[in-house]
Structure 1
């Protein structure tokens, strides 16, 4: 996983100002296809291409695509599918203009995921789900994910970028270290006599994922705080592939993109599923959503074809979305940071499991969260009862006592459990573990 300091980010205000100074770029045209083959019946999809909201600067629409891969039953996947979007939007402050709304969206995603998890655990259902949740607003794509479903973007030039993180313990060393440093254990299933089999799992509970929604019976080290990435797409568009692990266990990102090259999305999604199943058989639910993001038709007719991307620009691409930690980040020294108008530009990236970092107080607009309202569940807090998300952090000396955002007592307890700040076995999140 790429840390925040390894590449440059572009302030949203810079991008919007650049657009306003040039010829207005119309919103892209979206088309999608979806397909799945069921083995357990625990994969669910969500597609809503006409979500509306009223902003301070007018009525706008956005599109939402979600994939929910349940385990140990369907309850968590169904509940998350039905409630996650409402919880994300509920966490958004009112009366924002469009650029403020987009800037606030990543943190609202965090609050929405954690609130959905908190509310579902009140039902006491012992199932869980991975989530890959995508919101497309104009040329800005925001992706939040927990678990091992993934979202990739393929540009029209054939470059592939990962917009989600894999929280499978087998391949995520950072998550393994987080769990063990918090007091949990990571290991394979012990069949007796010292023999260990299967993938790495978190104990207690034995889940092979480090992040999910639900899973109240597998201990406090499995968190619902999502990895969030927000990017601005090139004006030439591209293609999103959102798929469950049934696809990614069989196909690489390159293979998935290549097998449906040139196909419309309604044909591409079934083709990806077919190729994945042919490779290893139907061993798991195998589900895929493909979204084509294209320039509006009138732009294609009136505008000359975009110039090819310079090699230097492609190197900047790879530095920003590197596939291996060993990739060089020396491109940050380029003289012109934002000289390419037709490249993917990253606006936000955060993968930390800490709510104190994810609900940071440095918001782009004032009053991002009301002073006496819980930043996660949005319940009103009486003066003096709220607990700052920064409580107990090493930087508290730099913060004022009233620096928010604030959490209610229930969400503060959940925060401590998620971040391994409570002794193991304390509280209901560990009470049902073996």
Structure 2
């Protein structure tokens, strides 16, 4: 059972576009899913096993977004504490599924908003929901993508694309689905565990898949047009997608990763790529833990993460969603890391790289 404890202060607003279960939008202007399953409890014994089995996540969530240095806001997101209830389906406490998503649009807002508004509903309406969630999520990503293609045929002004990253929490299970370069990172006693892989042209596996489907990778771009190799939408771009199989080099099929949550799992960070341009996964976890230890306010922590990204020189749209699994503060656990000898901070390295790249 998951208990939702969203922290939203009355009168507090977000810069940029936002969309969640309890908020209104604000604007500044395959059947066989590719899946990595991790079940840490499978090797736990004796008292440790009992502690893991007894662990019940207490869900608290928050979010913040900012237009950054862009002319328009193309990021959006969604936070739903009870997915079935949201769409009028009955669910017991034991079967509550929480749903969180970040969608980073490109070429317009149409695709990101369409996926945000329709993907959760398509998941719930699938005949196999909620018994076969992995299969349902993969199928729903593709179905939503096809629906958007038909919508664009009727209203061409919506033509655009979006990455999509979702997280679903049910019982002690966490299922992350990703198509694009947003990223989800789990904090496990302060150690960053990446729950998604960035789908960029530099990824060897993605290069192999793209080239097998007739696509090309040149200077970090897919078919000289996109900096991502998986996304929903973009049906207006020639040579990217086809209805049916194999579907073209730009894929809407998400990669899935599932873990069984234990007491050691503190929170999940889901962010658009603007955040990850100036934060490493571990750096983001370290920053978030420090802020939570100061005030234990999940929404404020998201705001501070976005503001820190801006301070570090982020120029893209920025969106951060955080889901905590405890009411208590993160522990003072010291993370053991490989010793690295260096004389410049991660922030300094990013600044130096920005200068060198012009």
| TM-score scaled by length of structure 1 | 0.57
Matched, 1:85 2:116: no
Q: Secondary structure at the match of 1:168?
A: coil
SS of the residue corresponding to residue 210 of structure 2 reads helix
SS in 1 for 2:226: coil
Q: 2:204 aligns with which of 149, 173, 184?
A: 173
In structure 1, distance between residues paired with 2:37 and 2:116: 33
Q: 1:237 to 1:177 in 2, by over 3 A?
A: closer
Q: Distance in 1 between matches of 2:60 and 2:50?
A: 27
Aligned to 1:229: 257
| Alpha-carbon shift at residue 26 of structure 1 (Å) | 5.3
| Alpha-carbon distance between aligned partners in 1 of 2:124 and 2:266, rounded to the nearest angstrom | 27
Determine the structure 1 residue equivalent to 2:214.
183
TM-superposed CA distance for 1:242, in Å, is 0.5
Q: Provide the residue aligned with 1:216 in structure 2.
A: 235
CA distance in 1, matches of 2:306, 2:40: 37
Query: What is the aligned partner in structure 2 of residue 201 from structure 1?
Result: 221
Q: CA deviation at 1:280?
A: 1.6
Task: Find the aligned partners of 1:63 and 1:275 in 2 and give their Cα distance.
Answer: 28
Counterpart CA distance in 2 for 1:255 and 1:236 is 18
Change (3 A) 1:187 1:242: same
Classify the secondary structure of the residue corresponding to 1:123: helix
The residue that corresponds to 1:257 in the other structure is 285
Structure 1 unaligned blocks of 5 or more: 189-199, 301-305, 315-434
Deviation at 1:41, TM superposition (A): 0.9
Alignment check: 8 A CA contact 1:28 1:139 kept: yes
1:259 and 1:271 in contact (8 A); partners too:
no
Q: What do the CA deviations read for 1:14-52 (whole angstroms, capped 9, x no partner)? A: 79xx99x94762531111221111132111010111334
Q: 2:60 aligns with which of 22, 28, 31?
A: 31
Q: 1:209/1:105 Cα in 2 relative to 1: closer, same or farther (>3 Å)?
A: same
TM-score by length of 2: 0.68
Q: Measure how far apart 1:232 and its partner are.
A: 0.5
Q: 1:123 Cα deviation (Å)?
A: 1.4
Match of 1:62 among 94, 97, 100: 97
User: Is 1:144–1:227's contact at 8 Å kept on the other side of the alignment?
Assistant: yes
Q: Distance in 1 between matches of 2:198 and 2:289?
A: 24
Q: What are structure 2's unaligned runs of at least 5 residues? A: 1-32, 153-157, 242-248, 338-358
Aligned residues: 274
After superposition, the C-alpha distances for 1:313-353 in whole angstroms (9 at most, x for unaligned) are: x9xxxxxxxxxxxxxxxxxxxxxxxxxxxxxxxxxxxxxxx
* Alpha-carbon distance in structure 2 between the residues aligned to 1:247 and 1:11: 29
> Whose Rg is larger?
1
SS at structure 2 position matched to 1:294 = coil
